[in-house]
Amino acid sequence: MVETPRSFFGKSRLVLGITLFLIFGLGIAIRLYDITDLPLDFHPTRQLFSAIKARGMYYQNLQEAPEWQRTVAIQMWKTKVTIEPELLPRLAAFFYRFTGEKLWVPRLISAVFWVLGGIFLFLLARDLATTDGAVLALAFYLFVPYGIIASRSFQPDPLMVSSILAYWWLVWCWRQSPAWKWAILAGLVGGFAIFVKLVAVFFVAGGTVGMLIGRFRFRDILRNAQAWAMLTLDILPGAIWVLDGLFVAGFLNNEFSGNFLASLLLSPSYYLQWQSNVQTVVGGVVVALALLGLFLTRQKGGFAFLVSIWIMYGLFGLYFNYHISTHDYYSLPLIPIVAFSLAPLGELLFARVADVAQTTRMRIAVFLIILYGVCASLWAVRNEMKAIDYRPIQAYWASISDALGPQASVIALTDDYGSGLAYWGWQNAAVWPTSDQLNYHDERGGTFNLRTFFAERAKKKVYFLVSNLEEFERQPELKQLLYADYPVFSEGEGFVIFDLVHPYRGQP
């Protein structure tokens, strides 16, 4: 018989209650800090994409708004591509009715979803390891610096992650006690997670396979009506969304291209960049410790579950190889995966501490040391949040819009694909691609001629705005073309506007 290790947090319900209260309280508090700042601290283009959609939905029913603003807001919303169901923008637009158009609202919603996901993570980690291990897993999930910033971003990923966690816990409940209520609940939540963002299918599938292995034989699963019902509910919402987007409404026709680039599989830089993003999200040393934790799990079925979700993360990264290497938030699901894998280490660590800290004074000392470490880490994150005030950027885009004039015909090279100009300047600009996008085009076998491409993009445009001056330097041919052929219409701190209507020679 395996000896049950001594528990540090689970020995007293009062100690456990105080610990969880502090973890969740601090987890919420750090996410509320400076939340009214503009959402530019984390992938601003992606957040402003959602903000523009939410504003259009809000203004659609805002009768007191000026007619031109309602028209522009709705037009910007409708012309944005649809890459996933607009759940969070619609939720934000609903609350805008009570708060006004405040961008902290959707950020708060995302943060709440992420913290709620911690409840399901703790419950599942407690079953996979012990209460002590679950406390460590929860603390990592809520306090890892990248997760703090990412979890309050205006994008669907925090909701997706929390839904996946709820699904994993429900499947575990069904595994332990097969009943129709668990099968139906798990299927509904799993289907919702995939509906929020289709990439969740990797983690829904990984968690399901890992939990069923070792508990059921394959032929028994095929004969299990509850399993089929859960699988159907998992797949149905996302399948309807995809079929509608591909064959009925057509809004997904171009969204499945470019996810996988076979050439990247042979490129060392792809794997190095992927690892760099992993380092950013959770840290390489933490990943190594988490992988060691796989071999320390004591719960029957826990090892299969952990290995399965790790494998699915790897397959996910190999399929979405371009995005996993260029968008660090694609590794956001790695945070709960690592958290679960750290739980067995937490079990051993706190068991050893419990063996040594026998007296009440020693336990209080250990508790205060841990609290100090958590608070020191959170204070560092707080300082990072406070370091930059993004609020002046709103005035910056407004000044550029004033220079262009109302509803100007403009093509722009910006650092956020024109999102800032659209949201705060109310200008719907065409976007000039970055050097990375042009390189991506070449990797997919395309050809590029600058003058031909410029003539196509700048046709019928009045101005060419450059607000990303660093990117402008990375495209010397474009810079030479603009300064040689077109006069400067206006310039200010951080931007220059070229007049495309009156070239120095010939026609644009």
Domain assignment present for 441: yes
My answer on whether 375 and 310 are in the same domain is: yes
How do strand 410-413 and strand 463-466 relate by DSSP bridges?
Answer: parallel
My answer on whether 420 and 302 are in the same domain is: no
Q: What is the CA radius of gyration of the chain?
A: 26
Strand partners, 498: 464, 488
My answer on whether 379 and 400 are in the same domain is: no
Domain assignment present for 425: yes
- Which amino acid, 394? Q
Residue where a domain terminates, one of 324, 356, 386: 386
Residue 238 to residue 194: CA distance in whole angstroms: 6
- Cross-sheet strand order for the sheet of 488-492: 430-431, 410-413, 463-466, 495-499, 488-492
Residue 241's CB is within 10 A of a number of other CB atoms, namely 19
The helix or strand, by DSSP H or E, that contains position 430, with its residue range, turns out to be strand 430-431
Q: Extract the tokens encoding 156.
A: 């669907």
CA distance readout (Å), 475 to 367, 410, 437, 465, 481: 55, 19, 12, 14, 10
My answer on whether 227 and 291 are in the same domain is: yes
My answer on whether 429 and 321 are in the same domain is: no
Domain assignment present for 77: no
CA distance readout (Å), 262 to 256, 270, 277: 14, 11, 20
SS3 sequence of 263-295: HHHHCHHHHHHHHHHHHHHCCHHHHHHHHHHHH
Count up the domains in the chain and report the number: 2
Residue 151's CB is within 10 A of a number of other CB atoms, namely 29
Q: What pLDDT shows up at residue 3?
A: 54
My answer on whether 413 and 279 are in the same domain is: no
Q: What pLDDT shows up at residue 140?
A: 96
Residue where a domain terminates, one of 333, 357, 386: 386
Q: What pLDDT shows up at residue 257?
A: 64
Domain assignment present for 340: yes
Domain assignment present for 17: yes
My answer on whether 129 and 261 are in the same domain is: yes
The helix or strand, by DSSP H or E, that contains position 241, with its residue range, turns out to be helix 225-243
- Please tell me the pTM assigned to this model: 0.92
Name the residue range of residue 268's domain: 13-35+109-386
My answer on whether 458 and 490 are in the same domain is: yes
Q: Which of 345, 347, 350, 351 is nearest to 370 (CA)?
A: 350
Domain assignment present for 61: no
My answer on whether 334 and 430 are in the same domain is: no
Q: Which of 39, 42, 38 is nearest to 328 (CA)?
A: 42
- Give, for all 508 residues of the chain, the pLDDT tens digit: 445 567 777 667 888 899 899 999 999 999 999 999 999 999 999 999 999 999 999 999 999 999 999 999 999 999 988 889 999 999 999 999 999 999 999 999 999 999 999 999 999 999 988 898 999 999 999 999 999 999 999 999 999 999 999 999 999 999 988 899 999 999 999 999 999 999 999 999 999 998 888 777 878 788 889 989 999 999 999 999 998 888 887 777 766 666 788 888 988 999 999 999 999 999 999 999 999 998 888 777 788 899 999 999 999 999 999 999 999 999 999 999 999 999 999 888 877 877 776 677 887 888 888 888 889 989 999 999 999 999 999 999 999 999 999 889 999 999 888 999 999 999 999 999 988 777 765 555 556 788 888 999 888 899 999 999 999 999 999 999 999 999 999 999 899 999 999 998 655 4
My answer on whether 115 and 255 are in the same domain is: yes
Q: What pLDDT shows up at residue 463?
A: 96
Residue 354 to residue 359: CA distance in whole angstroms: 10
My answer on whether 142 and 240 are in the same domain is: yes
My answer on whether 207 and 261 are in the same domain is: yes
Domain assignment present for 259: yes
Residue 298's CB is within 10 A of a number of other CB atoms, namely 16
Tell me the HSE value of 300 on the side-chain side, using a 13 A CA sphere. Answer: 6
Angle subtended by helix axes 131-143 and 334-356, to nearest 10: 130
Residue where a domain terminates, one of 336, 358, 386: 386
Domain assignment present for 244: yes
